[in-house]
Chains A and B, each alone.
Chain A
Amino acid sequence: MKSTSPQNPNPLKKKLASRFLKAMKKLSHKISSSPSPPSTAERRRRHRAVRAAAYASMASAVGPRRAWSRALLRKLRSKATATSGRKTARRNPRNIGTRFLGLNELCDVVPGGKAMDSCSLLSETGHYIKCLRAQVQIMREILDSSSSSSSSRIL
Chain B
Amino acid sequence: MEPELGAAQPQFRSGEMGCAFDEIHGLISAPPVTGGRSFTALLELPPPQAVELLVTEDFPAKHQPPPPIFPTDIGLIHRASKFSVFASADNSLESNTILSVSNSIKVDSVKQEQLDADSHRNSSSPAGSDQCLKSGKRKEREKKVKESNKKSKNMAANEPSDNGGGEELPYVHVRARRGQATDSHSLAERARREKINARMKLLQELVPGCNKISGTAMVLDEIINHVQALQRQVEFLSMRLAAVSPGIDLDLDSLFAVNGSSNADTSYTGMFALPICTEGQLDGTRQLQLQQLWHCDELHQSVWAREADTSNFIAPANSLMSYDSSSANSGNPAAPRRTTS
Contact = CB atoms under 8 A, between A and B. Distances in A.
A119 B259 CA distance: 35
B contact residues, range: 35 or more
Nearest to B208: A1
Interface of A: 1, 6-7, 9, 13-14, 17, 21, 24-25, 27-28, 31-32, 36, 43, 46-47, 49-55, 72, 75-76, 79, 100-103, 105-106, 109-111, 118-119, 122-123, 125-126, 128-130, 132-133, 135-151, 154-155
B228 interface: yes
B134 to A, nearest CB: 35
B192 A119 contact: yes
Interface string B307-333: 000000010001101111111000000
Contacts of A50: 238-239, 241-242, 245
B230 A132 contact: yes
A130 B322 CA distance: 30
Nearest to A146: B248
A123 B341 CA distance: 20
Given A24-B241, A138-B258, 14 more contacts: A7-B262, A17-B258, A27-B245, A36-B246, A46-B243, A47-B238, A101-B217, A102-B216, A129-B207, A132-B231, A139-B241, A141-B263, A142-B248, A143-B244
Contacts of A142: 241, 248, 250, 254, 257-258
Given A103-B220, A109-B224, A109-B231, A141 B248 contact: no
Contacts of B245: 24, 27-28, 31, 46, 50
Contact of B322 (A140, A141, A150): A150
B249 interface: yes
B288 interface: no
Contacts of B196: 118-119, 122
A125 B227 contact: yes
B234 A132 contact: yes
B265 interface: yes
B74 to A, nearest CB: 24
Interface SS, B side: helix
Nearest to A154: B323
A69 to B, nearest CB: 12
Contacts of A7: 260, 262
Contact of B324 (A76, A100, A118, A147): A147
B227 A132 contact: yes
Given A28-B246, A141-B265, A21 B321 contact: no
30 contacts: A13-B258, A14-B259, A24-B241, A28-B248, A28-B250, A51-B239, A72-B341, A79-B341, A102-B216, A102-B220, A102-B221, A102-B224, A106-B223, A109-B227, A111-B341, A119-B199, A126-B202, A126-B206, A128-B227, A129-B226, A130-B206, A136-B234, A140-B263, A140-B265, A141-B263, A142-B250, A146-B254, A147-B327, A151-B324, A154-B324
Nearest to B228: A109
A151 B203 contact: no
Contacts of B230: 129, 132-133, 136
Q: Which of the listed residues A28, A100, A106 has the most CB atoms from chain B within 10 Å of its own CB?
A: A28
A145 B228 contact: no
A135 B234 contact: yes
A60 to B, nearest CB: 14
B22 interface: no
B50 to A, nearest CB: 12
A148 B257 CA distance: 10
A13 B260 CA distance: 12
